[in-house]
A and B are shown apart, each in its own frame.
Chain A
Amino acid sequence: MLRIKCPFCGERDHSEFSYGGDGSIVYPALDAPMQDWVEAVFQRENIRGMQTETWQHVNGCRTWLLVERDTMTHEIRSVRAAHPGVAKALEGSS
């Protein structure tokens, strides 16, 4: 069981959370060329090692999180709210 330290609720079992996906994807502008959209929607780096990924605390505060996790060892390095404003508001509070 992974344990994810939600900045709002504290450390919880990962079964309270839902995995989103690769958190490093930046979606292009709506009128960006097709190729940029193909890249963002379909292409993945699929890192073996530390990756930034999204999780949602669905059975808790429902905040979307950005988690740095090693995809080989499952070690979690950091957890922060995905929304920069929420992240800032929660800074130092947990």
Chain B
Amino acid sequence: MTRFSAWNVFRNGLTGQKGWSRQWRDPEPKKHYDVVVIGAGLHGLATAYYLAKNHSVRNVAVVEKGWLGGGNAGRNTTIVRSNYMMPGNREFYEHSLKLWENLSHELNYNVMFSQRAHVSLLHSPAAVDDAARRYNTMRLTDSDGELWDLEKLKHTIPYLNYGPNSRFPIIGAAVQRRAGTARHDAVAWGYARGADQHGVDILQNCEVTGVTRDNDKVVAIETTRGTISAGKVGFAVAGNTSRLWSMAGLGNLPIESHKLQAFVSEPLKPLLDHVVVFGVGGAHFYISQSDKGGMVFGGDIDWYKSYAQRGNLPIVQDVAEAAMSILPCLGRVKLLRHWSGVMDMSMDGSHFICKTPLNNLYLNAGWNYGGFKASPASGWYFADLIANDRPHPVVENHDLQRFERGINIDERGAGPDPKLHG
């Protein structure tokens, strides 16, 4: 496998681009792996990479029903930030952000991580106070966060709707400068290439159809490409977690599958240098501009539970209305594409990286719609859990039993209703 370097780009430029090799193999499934990770989204691929890299566990397969990165990995709006406040979450997301900062070097693959700042608009003195609390807490966790007053915001992003007649006048912003966006496909490809390089088999077009148990142990998984026996198994299938869980005969989970849409406009000349977020009075909207010029944006989930990777029209209208209320200059811009992905919404809006009732089965799920930014740390801590068979202290409360212990890791304070989390 050819490494990417300035020299290789130059050399291949002169030799007709003939010197590149495949980025990863397309192997036949082996009969047995020490670890089988199910789901080649960002979390499954990152897990395999860190299993090999950090723990020298190399007889690993990642089993994927479609193509790698074809799930939520390739459908998200690519926002990366660490402005979380709850214990456990804030250490986890800050660790993730630090991994992002070095990810292109780590993987020798340009994931186009762009720390363009995440700007959350604020509309009331109470919201400013709340943001001060959250961003101060972040700073105590070795992260960064600052508050901008209206003057600074107007100076930096002059074309937002500052009109005095707007329904929710903007009075300032909470900003995380180290936050930003990345190229989602490149992250999947970079982790896949890195894992493959360490000997991990990535088995695509290989759907898991059954989980074979011997009492409280998984012995094998049934797939459309045959039976694969496994020493340990990890689930990282996002919106399909409940289906795998029931294949393993494990009953119910604190998770519901909901869909979220994303939108991309026709390409424009450079307009927006930041990630801008608008969330007040039931509206929810976030926007950035891709390197190709498309405005990439989204809003709330479709509100009712669904496994269909297909969005509904009322949300298109909602999101367009929110866009118009903060960026009226987009009024004549055409929408190019929109799509949806199925997410694993949890009961408190936080994730699970934990052991399960089966001795050698591990769970990675409950990412709601914030799992893109989480992917490096998710792989890091999930690999650590699988290799050492015990949770790292940072994720020790991110287990399935936390609700019975009276612990809700609920950033929004929305209560046990998956559709209310974000």
Query: A: which residues have CB within 8 A of B?
Result: 1-2, 13-15, 18-19, 21-22, 34-35, 38-39, 41-46, 48, 51, 53, 55, 69, 71-74
> Which 7 pairs show the lowest CB-CB distances between chains A and B?
A46-B242, A43-B252, A19-B304, A15-B314, A42-B403, A42-B254, A48-B307
Whether A53 pairs with B308 at a CB distance below 8 angstroms is: no
B251 to chain A, nearest CB (A): 8
Q: Using Cβ atoms and an 8 Å threshold, which residues of chain A touch B251?
A: 43
The answer for the CA separation of A19 and B302 in the assembled complex, in Å, is 10
The answer for the CA separation of A18 and B417 in the assembled complex, in Å, is 13
Q: Using Cβ atoms and an 8 Å threshold, which residues of chain B touch A14?
A: 304, 312, 314
Which of A19, A34, A46, A74 makes the CB contact (< 8 A) with B404? A34
Whether A72 pairs with B308 at a CB distance below 8 angstroms is: yes
Q: Using Cβ atoms and an 8 Å threshold, which residues of chain A touch B243?
A: 48
Q: Using Cβ atoms and an 8 Å threshold, which residues of chain A touch B308?
A: 71-74
Q: Is B36 an interface residue (CB 8 A)?
A: no
Query: B: which residues have CB within 8 A of A?
Result: 242-243, 251-257, 303-308, 312-314, 347, 403-404, 416-419
A25 to chain B, nearest CB (A): 10
B422 to chain A, nearest CB (A): 16
B254 to chain A, nearest CB (A): 5
The answer to whether A71 and B303 touch (CB under 8 A), given A42-B254, A43-B253, A44-B253, is: no
Which of B253, B254, B257, B314 makes the CB contact (< 8 A) with A71? B257
Q: Using Cβ atoms and an 8 Å threshold, which residues of chain A touch B313?
A: 1
Which of B252, B257, B304, B416: most chain A CB closer than 10 A? B304
Whether B255 pairs with A44 at a CB distance below 8 angstroms is: yes
What is the predominant secondary structure among interface residues of chain A facing chain B? mixed
Which of B256, B303, B416 makes the CB contact (< 8 A) with A41? B416
Whether B416 pairs with A42 at a CB distance below 8 angstroms is: yes
Which of A19, A38, A43, A69 makes the CB contact (< 8 A) with B303? A19
Whether A71 pairs with B305 at a CB distance below 8 angstroms is: yes
The answer to whether A51 and B404 touch (CB under 8 A), given A44-B242, A44-B252, A46-B257, is: no
Contacts A35-B404, A41-B403, A55-B304 supplied; 16 other A-B pairs, CB < 8 Å: A19-B419, A21-B417, A41-B416, A42-B403, A43-B251, A43-B252, A43-B253, A44-B242, A44-B253, A45-B242, A46-B252, A51-B305, A53-B304, A71-B307, A72-B307, A74-B306
B233 to chain A, nearest CB (A): 20
The answer for the CA separation of A14 and B305 in the assembled complex, in Å, is 13
Can you offer 23 A-B residue contacts whose CB atoms are under 8 A?
A: A1-B312, A13-B314, A14-B304, A14-B314, A19-B303, A19-B305, A21-B419, A34-B404, A35-B404, A38-B404, A41-B403, A42-B254, A43-B252, A44-B242, A44-B255, A46-B242, A46-B252, A46-B256, A48-B243, A48-B257, A53-B304, A71-B308, A74-B308
Q: Using Cβ atoms and an 8 Å threshold, which residues of chain A touch B419?
A: 19, 21
The answer for the CA separation of A15 and B308 in the assembled complex, in Å, is 18
Which of B305, B306, B314: most chain A CB closer than 10 A? B305
Q: Using Cβ atoms and an 8 Å threshold, which residues of chain A touch B242?
A: 44-46, 48
> Which A residue's beta carbon lies closest to that of B317?
A15
Whether B307 pairs with A53 at a CB distance below 8 angstroms is: no
Whether B403 pairs with A71 at a CB distance below 8 angstroms is: no
Whether B312 pairs with A38 at a CB distance below 8 angstroms is: no
Q: Using Cβ atoms and an 8 Å threshold, which residues of chain B touch A35?
A: 404
Q: Using Cβ atoms and an 8 Å threshold, which residues of chain B touch A71?
A: 257, 305-308
Q: Using Cβ atoms and an 8 Å threshold, which residues of chain B touch A19?
A: 303-305, 419
Q: Using Cβ atoms and an 8 Å threshold, which residues of chain B touch A53?
A: 304-305
Q: Using Cβ atoms and an 8 Å threshold, which residues of chain A touch B418?
A: 44
> Which A residue's beta carbon lies closest to that of B344?
A46
Whether B314 pairs with A44 at a CB distance below 8 angstroms is: no
The answer for the CA separation of A71 and B345 in the assembled complex, in Å, is 15
The answer for the CA separation of A1 and B404 in the assembled complex, in Å, is 38
The answer to whether A39 and B305 touch (CB under 8 A), given A21-B417, A34-B404, is: no
The answer for the CA separation of A41 and B251 in the assembled complex, in Å, is 15
The answer for the CA separation of A39 and B307 in the assembled complex, in Å, is 23
Q: Using Cβ atoms and an 8 Å threshold, which residues of chain B touch A74?
A: 306, 308
The answer for the CA separation of A34 and B305 in the assembled complex, in Å, is 27
Q: Using Cβ atoms and an 8 Å threshold, which residues of chain A touch B253?
A: 43-44, 46
> Which B residue's beta carbon lies closest to that of A34?
B404
The answer for the CA separation of A38 and B417 in the assembled complex, in Å, is 13
B187 to chain A, nearest CB (A): 27
> Which A residue's beta carbon lies closest to that of B255?
A46
The answer for the CA separation of A13 and B317 in the assembled complex, in Å, is 14
B207 to chain A, nearest CB (A): 14
Which of B254, B257, B307, B314 makes the CB contact (< 8 A) with A43? B254
Whether A1 pairs with B403 at a CB distance below 8 angstroms is: no
Q: Using Cβ atoms and an 8 Å threshold, which residues of chain A touch B347?
A: 41-42
The answer for the CA separation of A4 and B69 in the assembled complex, in Å, is 35
